[in-house]
Structure 1
Amino acid sequence: MNKFLETYKSDIIYVVIVLVIVLALYILTRVLHKWLHRKLQEHFPGSPVKSINLINRILKTLWLVLGVIALSLIFIKTEKRTDFIDYFKLFSYLGIISVITIVAITIANIWFNYKINKTNAANNDPTNYKFLRYVVIALISLAGVLLVSLAFPSLKGVAQTALGGAGILTLIAGFAAQEALANITGGLFIIAFKPFKIKDRIKVSDSMVGIVTDITLRHTVIRNTENRMIVIPNAVINKEKLINYDLGEHKSCEFIEMGISYESDIDLAKLIMKEECENHPLILDNRTLLEKKDNKPMVRTAVIELGDSSVNLRAWAWTLNYADAYNLKCDVLESIKKRFDEAGIDIPYPHRTVLMKAQD
């Protein structure tokens, strides 16, 4: 036994040192993980801790892998140790770059979330911060991937070229024709020219109306009146003609249109439409002082078309915003219909005349 210890004394000391270092690093990682988790919840309540947990797992796995590689050095021949030392360096490099990248993304996320919450609390527009968060995280992730690529000989040339100034331009030019870059460019245009921002109510098509909830590098998300999330690529939404109900004045003019039969009393129908609109609690008096002085009606009504089977009337009803306009329209369409029925005003509906040919 003494002879064995004497013969392998240096190896035993080496194994003990490696095990102690791995165990110390493992314990230190666990302690730091708990400390960071507690500090995050103290200073940034509600912050996501998935990245902290991921770093914890990566570091623990890294210490285990490096420990195994270090212990394996005593069992292989001297001439082959170079390869294992290279593996040791490779895993160390990959682990460090991964941790640094995740830490950078986490810090960026925490900072941008803090600024977004602060902006929301002040009732300001958080669109710029939300979009820049995606840009910064994408750039950090790209830099991490390129740095990891440097560790592999087959990818090293590509990574070095991409990390250079000319390489970045070449990389961008290579993706210029791709749909991904078109969406990113579309997102940048939205942020720069602000046709809409987060919390704006927009109308992208006749059936696509909702509130903008997010603008990412790839797409814009709007929540429609059915509480469904609609995802529209930035390249698509930039080409669409859209209505922004919150751009400029929020006041909205709603067209209340009804068709009556040619035999019905037009003046009475216009009066009923005017009264129902003016009596609604959401109506807005949009008249100027001069119009009020001249006793102009709050709600204008007029014949807008003589159709094939109906006289089409319109009332111009103003409200404070689009949501009020929609609610007013729903209410007064019902109340006008009831008043028309009481007054004997007919609303025409399609008729079809069928001619039966007599059989000889």
Structure 2
Amino acid sequence: MVEFWSANSELIIYVLVVISAVLLLLVSTKLLYKWLIKKTLKKYPNEKPTTLKLVKRVLNTLWVILGVAALSFVFISEDKYAVAAKNFEKIVYVGFVLVFTIIGSSVVDTLFGRVIKKTIASDGDPTSYKFLRYLSVFGVYFFGAILATLAFPALRGVAQTALGGAGILALVLGVASQEALANIIGGIFIISFKPFRVGDVIKISDTLVGSVKDITLRHTVIQNYQNKMIVIPNAIINKEKVTNYDLEEKKICQWIEIGISYDSDIDLAKSIMKEECENHPNIFDNRTNQDIGNGVPLVIVRVIDLGDSSVTIRAWAWAWDYASAFVMKCELYESIKKRFDAEGVEIPFPHRTLVFKDKQMETFKNCYSSKD
């Protein structure tokens, strides 16, 4: 035993020191984590410490990997110490770059998040801040990835070119796909020209109407009235014709169109539609003082088309926003239909007339008689 100790005392002490150092780092990380959690929850009780948990896990993993790497010196020959030392330095460098990248992105995300909350609380527009938050977090991770590649000689030239300034765009163009770049550029155009903002109600197609919830580097998120989140790439949404119901003024003119039969009383139908529209609680008086003085009615009703089987009548009814206009339209169709039924105004439906020639009619009668 004495001989074993005297022959391997240095290695044993080295192993014990490494293990002790790893345990000390693990315990220190845990204590620091608890202290930071306590401080964070005390100052910001509504924020989840997700980043602190992630940093703790990364650090614990890094300490273990460094410990294993340090212990590997015991099992390799002295002529390989130089290579092992370089690998050890790479692990330390990449590990700390990863930790600081996570911390940096978290700080940026948290700061923008607080600014967005204050902006929303003061009834401001958070669209630009939300987009800048995604752009800044992406920039931090991109910069961290470039720094990490500096540890590898084969990739060092690419990293130095990218860090040179003009090489950043060239690197992105070379690595990213055309579609991804189109989405990013599309997002920048949306933020710059503001055809819509977060919170606006927009219409992309007849079946896609909803409120804008988020605008990211890649896509725009729309929440429709079925409470479904629709994700549309920015490159696609930039090609579509977008109707923004909240751009400048929110008031909206809702058309109420109904076809009546040619035998029905047009004046009675117009009067019913006008009364029902004016009595609806969502109606909005869009007339100016001059219009009121000139006797312009609250709801204008006109015949707009003489179709093949119906007379189309339209009422122009205003509401203060899209949601109230949609509810008003649905309820008016129901109330007008009931009034039409009660007062004898007919809404035509398709009829089909079948004409039989004499021989065909005779054949039809014979077939019918044979069945009896």
TM-score greater than 0.5 by the shorter chain: yes
Q: Partners in 1 of 2:177 and 2:63 — Cα distance?
A: 44
Paired residue secondary structure (2:305): strand
1:91-133 deviations in Å (ceiling 9; x for gaps): 1111101101111111112111111111111121111111111
Residue number in structure 2 paired with 1:295? 295
**Pair 1:66-2:66 in alignment:** yes
Counting only pairs closer than 5 Å after superposition, residues 294-333 of structure 1 correspond to structure 2 as 294-333=294-333
**Pair 1:148-2:148 in alignment:** yes
Q: Partners in 2 of 1:262 and 1:254 — Cα distance?
A: 25
Q: Give me the identity figure in percent.
A: 54
Q: Partners in 1 of 2:71 and 2:174 — Cα distance?
A: 46
Shift in Å at residue 177 of structure 1? Answer: 6.6
Residue number in structure 2 paired with 1:340? 340
Contact map agreement 1:134 1:217 (CA 8 A) in 2: yes
Q: Partners in 1 of 2:175 and 2:2 — Cα distance?
A: 68
Contact map agreement 1:214 1:221 (CA 8 A) in 2: yes
Shift in Å at residue 3 of structure 1? Answer: 4.4
Shift in Å at residue 176 of structure 1? Answer: 7.8
Q: Partners in 2 of 1:259 and 1:132 — Cα distance?
A: 51
Matched residues, number: 360
1:176–1:63: structure 2 CA closer, same or farther, 3 Å change rule?
Answer: closer
Q: Aligned AA for 2:121? A: A
Residue number in structure 2 paired with 1:227? 227
Paired residue secondary structure (1:230): strand
Residue number in structure 1 paired with 2:215? 215
Q: Partners in 2 of 1:278 and 1:265 — Cα distance?
A: 20
**Pair 1:260-2:260 in alignment:** yes
Q: Partners in 2 of 1:323 and 1:193 — Cα distance?
A: 25
1:208-247 deviations in Å (ceiling 9; x for gaps): 1000000000000101111111111101111111110000
Shift in Å at residue 10 of structure 1? Answer: 3.3
1:37-84 deviations in Å (ceiling 9; x for gaps): 222222233324332222111211211121222223234322111121
Paired residue secondary structure (2:171): helix
Paired residue secondary structure (2:358): coil
TM-score, scaled relative to structure 1: 0.95
Counting only pairs closer than 5 Å after superposition, residues 44-63 of structure 1 correspond to structure 2 as 44-63=44-63
Paired residue secondary structure (1:226): coil
Shift in Å at residue 306 of structure 1? Answer: 0.7
Paired residue secondary structure (2:197): coil
Residue number in structure 2 paired with 1:38? 38
Counting only pairs closer than 5 Å after superposition, residues 228-247 of structure 1 correspond to structure 2 as 228-247=228-247
Shift in Å at residue 257 of structure 1? Answer: 0.6
Q: Partners in 2 of 1:287 and 1:183 — Cα distance?
A: 43
Q: Aligned AA for 2:259? A: G
What root-mean-square deviation, in Å, do the aligned CA atoms of Structure 1 and Structure 2 show? 1.7
1:175–1:350: structure 2 CA closer, same or farther, 3 Å change rule?
Answer: farther
Contact map agreement 1:116 1:126 (CA 8 A) in 2: yes
**Pair 1:81-2:81 in alignment:** yes
TM-score, scaled relative to structure 2: 0.92
**Deviates further, 289-298 or 345-354:** 289-298
Contact map agreement 1:176 1:182 (CA 8 A) in 2: no
Q: Partners in 2 of 1:203 and 1:233 — Cα distance?
A: 15
Paired residue secondary structure (1:209): strand
Q: Partners in 2 of 1:315 and 1:72 — Cα distance?
A: 84
Residue number in structure 1 paired with 2:195? 195
Contact map agreement 1:213 1:221 (CA 8 A) in 2: yes
Residue number in structure 2 paired with 1:174? 174
Shift in Å at residue 300 of structure 1? Answer: 0.4
Paired residue secondary structure (1:59): helix
Q: Partners in 2 of 1:250 and 1:295 — Cα distance?
A: 25
Contact map agreement 1:175 1:181 (CA 8 A) in 2: no
Shift in Å at residue 205 of structure 1? Answer: 1.0
Note the residue ranges of structure 2 that are not aligned, 5 or more in a row. 363-372
Residue number in structure 2 paired with 1:102? 102
Q: Partners in 2 of 1:276 and 1:44 — Cα distance?
A: 53
Shift in Å at residue 2 of structure 1? Answer: 4.1
Q: Partners in 2 of 1:213 and 1:229 — Cα distance?
A: 9
1:124-146 deviations in Å (ceiling 9; x for gaps): 11111111111011111111222
Q: Partners in 1 of 2:295 and 2:351 — Cα distance?
A: 41
Shift in Å at residue 147 of structure 1? Answer: 1.6
**Deviates further, 42-51 or 276-285:** 42-51
Residue number in structure 2 paired with 1:184? 184
Contact map agreement 1:47 1:110 (CA 8 A) in 2: no
Q: Aligned AA for 2:24? A: A
Q: Aligned AA for 1:94? A: V
Note the residue ranges of structure 1 that are not aligned, 5 or more in a row. none
Q: Aligned AA for 2:237? A: I
Paired residue secondary structure (1:247): coil
